[in-house]
Amino acid sequence: MQTVRLGGTGLEISSVVLGMMSYGDPDRGSHAWSVGIDQARPFVRRAFDAGITAFDTANVYSAGSSEEITGTLLRELGPREDVQVFTKVFNRMRPGRNGAGLSRVAIMHEIDASLQRLGTDYVDLYQIHRFDPQTPIAETMEALHDVVKSGKARYIGASSMWAWQFAEMQHTAELHDWTKFVSMQDQYNLLEREEEREMHPFCEQSGVGVIPWSPLARGKVTRPWDSAGSGSRSDTDEFGKTLYRQDEDANRTIVGEVQQIAEDRGVSMAQVALAWVAGKSAVTAPIIGATKEHHIDDAVAASAITLTDDEVTRLESAYTPRVPSGF
């Protein structure tokens, strides 16, 4: 597995990140499709043995149990410094006042809660899960700066938002000489490419690494368009049901090209779709989920695939502009 630097930093991570949202207590939170620690263990071990050392979770995943599982399983792999742990803050974690958002109160409480669940003194990357329009940007950025200076996070990152919001947050940090974001975790795949318009050019120009979520479009680019997904997630993932519903004729054509290129190369559709994402200059490392062994095998194999210019053109030509989704 290739080693890459996260944006303009010196932080070395694997060129694929394992997303931990699939692992958690299905009876906690809204992820009824998540799997418990015993089912998660072989996937995490398989990923690590394949060279994947970066693991991404969030406080809200399965109401904190994803962080608990992540911390337990990563400690089984070896020394803390052998892995890079990413988590996030923003969503509601407790009832009442200050139980969600990006206020100083919420951030300071949630970083300590995340560290306790993860069983570590620090996270390598602490990300804001979404933009908080209710909290002054300066308050958020100063609090995140203090988290880094306290040693509880090595770097900070952001996730899906409008490019102007991200630019404003970066500008605020720069004005005050506070810690700036080093990464953007946004939705990016063959069926959702709107980040190419503003966010990715801004990230490339400013040295911010991009670690996309859902690089396989919730599995829709890994199988023929009319094939149903397997497993409970396709039936119970309410958030996922809101995605990739625009211009289904174009999506069908794109997926058809993925299928044809995969057949021509003798590889899986997932490998082709992941190779396309990873081949983009703005992208540092895609975040993949794994609930089957071949998910990790496909991700590793995709890192060795370089698509031809003709293949890229075929994959991209049917795409149509659409309203950004996912945030």
Name the packing angle between helices 248-265 and 269-278 (round to 10°): 100
Q: Are the beta carbons of 302 and 32 closer than 8 angstroms? A: no
Residue 126 annotated among the catalytic residues of the structure: no
Gap between the Cα atoms of 20 and 211, Å rounded: 14
Q: Are the beta carbons of 158 and 167 closer than 8 angstroms? A: no
Written as six digits, the tokens of 260 are 């044809």
Q: Minimal CA–CA distance to 307: which of 277, 283, 286?
A: 277
**Backbone dihedral region of 114: left (phi > 0), alpha (psi from -120 to 50 degrees) or beta?**
alpha
Q: Are the beta carbons of 85 and 74 closer than 8 angstroms? A: yes
Gap between the Cα atoms of 305 and 275, Å rounded: 6
Q: Minimal CA–CA distance to 72: which of 33, 31, 120, 22?
A: 120
Sequence letter at residue 10: G
Gap between the Cα atoms of 142 and 121, Å rounded: 20
Beta strands in the chain (DSSP E): 3-5, 12-14, 17-19, 54-56, 84-89, 123-128, 153-159, 181-185, 209-210, 287-288
Catalytic residue among 61, 126, 188, 319: 61
Gap between the Cα atoms of 116 and 135, Å rounded: 25
Residues serving a catalytic function are: 61
